[in-house]
Amino acid sequence: MKCVRSALFILVSVTVTFAASAQTVRFDSARKLWFLSTRDTSYVLGINEQNEMQHVYWGKRIAAENDFAPAHLASAYGFETREGRTAEEYPAWGGMRYGEPCLKVTFPDGNRDLVLKFDSQKIGSDILEITLKDISYGVFVTLRYRVFTAFDVIEKSVRVDNRTKEPIVVESAQSGVWHLPSGQHYRLSYLHGYWAGETRLAQEPIDPGKKILESRRGNTSGQANPWFAIDAGGAADEEHGKVWFGALGWSGNWKLVIEDTPYDQVRVVGGFNDFDFSYPLKPGESLNTPLFYGGYTELGFGDASRLMHSFEREAILPARSAGHLRPILYNSWEATEFNVDEAGQKALADKAARIGVELFVMDDGWFGQRNDDHAGLGDWYVNPQKFPNGLGPLIQYVKSKGMKFGLWVEPEMVNPNSNLYRKHPDWVINFSGRPRTEGRNQLVLNLARDDVKEYLLATLVKLLRENDIDFLKWDMNRHFSEPGWPAVAPADERKLWVNYVLNLYDIIDQLRAKYPKLEIESCSGGGGRIDLGILKRVEQAWTSDNTDAFDRLTIQDGFTHAYAPKLMMDWVTDVPNMNGRSTPLKFRFLAAMMGSMGIGANLNRWSDEDFALASKMAAYYKTIRATVQEGDLYRLASPHEGELTASQYVSRDGRQSVLFAFLRSQQFLRPAPTISLRGLDPNANYRVISIDDKLIDKADVLSGAYVMNHGLNFNLTGDFDSTSITLERVK
């Protein structure tokens, strides 16, 4: 190819948007420094003497901005390069850079070198644009930052624009890099797992080299989650210590690289997973990276979580969800599996209403020829044998019982034994001439295709138009394999990884725009699609297919490090569960109350005593729901650390607090540990109300100072004992 270098140039533009006061972002022209300020943190970047963007500081807010010196390129010595020792704000792959790059591009003449220089800046009321420019080529890259002042959170993202006259190929595109202060020892916290064991917390020292957290499965996955927290010296606990934290908002292949460079510089790079990644851009086309959020606190992991929880509730969840409490849900799956019909579902609805359920959800089996998991996916019409009169009579009956109606769907999948697949076998992800691997007897529809997207959107709109449906449980029960797209040019096939997710988002966004009262739950074989990208579009997430109440204490503990309890669906189901373990019904209910509560048991098998306890528990949950879903969480005793698990919630106005305590087992007549509460006013008095007789401290009114310092004692004995109390502030 003829060299076109003289006709090309690269431009990188950085956009920073802030929803805050005029002082949220400020530029010092003399020192060429930008100051991004939240309530308690400062983020500083600048231009060094090589005219390149450089990170300067991220940590506790420093009001004395004049103390900051201009950005300065590190010195080179021996074989150690200046670029490698400098904390670059957005390092592209080019020059003598050997760390994890944020951007890698191949140009039509074969060049893969990218050198970005500062070009210009533009400041609006809440917007800052910093323009960087490659020394030769014509690609524009927009780095976006948005500051959420009240939550001490900053959002980063990148847009790559091809304004050359020829196609280019983006080989890696990261959303940004978070730099930590150099020369310190750090500890990494992250979430890992697998099906039925998701969001389990792990911690380890950050040693020289790289730690990679990722998904290559086509969705977020239950094996890893795109969240991290890093504390200085491994010294942080729930209430003390410096903690930097962050999360990616992306529901496809993602990657976080935690790198400790040879120069004791720790940084976190995150964005699209570059495994099997190639995104060609024709002239005039662009690519947007996922949103990458970061925050900082000096009040430990507990405060980091509370900041994220508030941020998610108020800035991530759909606007209608803010302050809107999640209903108590009943789901029919464990009672009926695929054997659904109008009479059976009405009988379950009667029993659910008896408990106090507010949302009745019919799960799998209502559509197509769906009698097991071998057929029917893709045929989203009501099964005429099971529902000869359609869904209308059932929906009307459910609503006559004072409940809303929800339905399970899995739009992204298709069974080979379905009308849709027989008509459109080309619509699935596949490699030409290769076997099509089935998972759970199903294949993945290629949502990257616009015709598939439009078909699914029209199908769901028809379903919602013809039926008074309030809620969709949106499932995805397998990961990708053979990720090919034979309908496009070979060079474009790998765009599937990105375009699939973008079209998924577009379907949900259009549904929500057309049906603004519709509510959605994200589910993927349990907790396989939980991230800040999908959570912008749904009200809640299914945490795990594992509903064993004891296992759920660990799963839910990890979940709350990254995500708000309001988002966390917790069910009460029958025992013995998948572990063969039996726990008391009260234990199961209290474990499920620690987020958004649901019931998934086979109510046809419940006794009158079970219904009586369930009704009592549902009524109790409704009195504390606002505090659990909208309040501040304090993890008092972790299931990782002993036999006792305890969590406390404090309402936003401080008028109510709720404590849940669980004892795994008792040995040698040892009393349960004393539980010291947090987050209360030490000078206030609180009326203490227990749901049982487990509380040893019998005073009706206790001071905040007493319950936080002396603590409370409970008579928890045997195996799987549990209790809960509320504290109401006395006027």
Name the band, by pLDDT with cuts 50, 70 and 90, for residue 637.
very high
The three-state secondary structure class of 485 is: coil
Name the band, by pLDDT with cuts 50, 70 and 90, for residue 215.
very high
Give the model confidence (pLDDT) of 374-403 as tens digits.
999 999 999 999 999 999 999 999 999 999
**For the chain, which domains are there?**
5-316 (2.70.98.60), 320-363+386-408+428-630 (3.20.20.70), 636-729 (2.60.40.1180)
The three-state secondary structure class of 344 is: helix
pLDDT of residue 725: 99
Helix H or strand E segment including 592: helix 585-592
Average pLDDT on 269-285 reads 98
**What's the 3-state SS for 346-392?**
HHHHHHHHHHCCCEEEECCCCECCCCCCCECCCCCCECCCCCCCCCH
On average, the pLDDT of the chain sits at: 95
The three-state secondary structure class of 583 is: coil
Q: 277: which residues sit within 8 A by CB, 6+ positions away?
A: 171, 172, 173, 253, 494, 497
CB-based contact 648:669 (threshold 8 Å)? no
Helix H or strand E segment including 190: strand 186-192
Whether the upstream peptide bond of residue 205 has omega within 30° of 0, thus cis, is no
The DSSP line for 617-677 is HHHHHHHHHHHHHHSEEEEEE-TTSSSEEEEEEE-TTSSEEEEEEEEEE--TTPPPPPB--
Please tell me the pTM assigned to this model: 0.96
AA letter at 362: M
Looking at per-residue confidence, does 444 or 125 come out higher?
A: 444
pLDDT of residue 132: 82
- Known active-site residue 161: no
pLDDT of residue 19: 40
Lowest mean pLDDT among 15-29, 206-220, 339-353, 622-636: 15-29
HSE-up of residue 300 (Cα within 13 Å, Cβ side): 10
CB-based contact 516:320 (threshold 8 Å)? yes
CB-based contact 5:134 (threshold 8 Å)? no
pLDDT of residue 83: 86
Helix H or strand E segment including 51: none
- Count CB-CB contacts under 10 A for residue 400: 10
Average pLDDT on 617-636 reads 99
- Angle CA 675–676–679, to nearest 5: 135
- Angle CA 715–719–721, to nearest 5: 45
709, burial (CB in 10 Å: exposed 0-12, middle 13-18, buried 19+): exposed
- Known active-site residue 475: yes
Give the model confidence (pLDDT) of 504-522 as tens digits.
999 999 999 999 999 999 9
Name the band, by pLDDT with cuts 50, 70 and 90, for residue 92.
very high
Q: Which two tokens stand for residue 24?
A: 């949220």
- The angle that helices 608-630 and 342-355 make with each other, rounded to 10 degrees, is 70
CB-based contact 520:504 (threshold 8 Å)? no
| β-bridge pairing 540-542 and 568-572 | parallel
Give the model confidence (pLDDT) of 535-563 as tens digits.
999 999 999 999 999 999 999 999 999 99
Catalytic residue among 231, 274, 545, 557: 545
396, burial (CB in 10 Å: exposed 0-12, middle 13-18, buried 19+): exposed
Longest dimension (CA), the chain: 87
Name the band, by pLDDT with cuts 50, 70 and 90, for residue 4.
very low
- The angle that helices 450-466 and 496-514 make with each other, rounded to 10 degrees, is 20
Using the predicted structure, report yes or no on whether residue 242 has a pLDDT greater than 50.
yes
Catalytic residue among 475, 548, 551, 570: 475
The three-state secondary structure class of 330 is: strand
Q: Which two tokens stand for residue 243?
A: 């903690």
Name the band, by pLDDT with cuts 50, 70 and 90, for residue 119.
confident
- DSSP designation for 325: P
Question: How many helices and strands, by DSSP H and E, does the chain display?
Answer: 12, 37
Strand ranges across the sheet with 632-637: 632-637, 644-650, 656-665, 719-729, 685-690, 701-703
- Angle CA 145–149–150, to nearest 5: 140
Helix H or strand E segment including 517: none
Q: Which two tokens stand for residue 182?
A: 């150099």
Average pLDDT on 428-446 reads 98
pLDDT of residue 128: 77
Residues recorded for the chain = 731
Cα separation values, 379 from 411, 423, 451, 455, 475, Å? 9, 11, 16, 12, 15
Cα separation values, 470 from 389, 404, 597, Å? 20, 6, 17
Positive or negative, the Cα torsion across 576, 594, 239, 709? negative
Name the band, by pLDDT with cuts 50, 70 and 90, for residue 718.
very high
Give the model confidence (pLDDT) of 173-207 as tens digits.
999 999 999 989 999 999 999 999 999 999 999 99
Cα separation values, 489 from 105, 444, 493, 496, Å? 19, 20, 7, 12
- Rounded to whole angstroms, the Cα distance separating 216 from 273 reads 7
- Rounded to whole angstroms, the Cα distance separating 523 from 472 reads 10
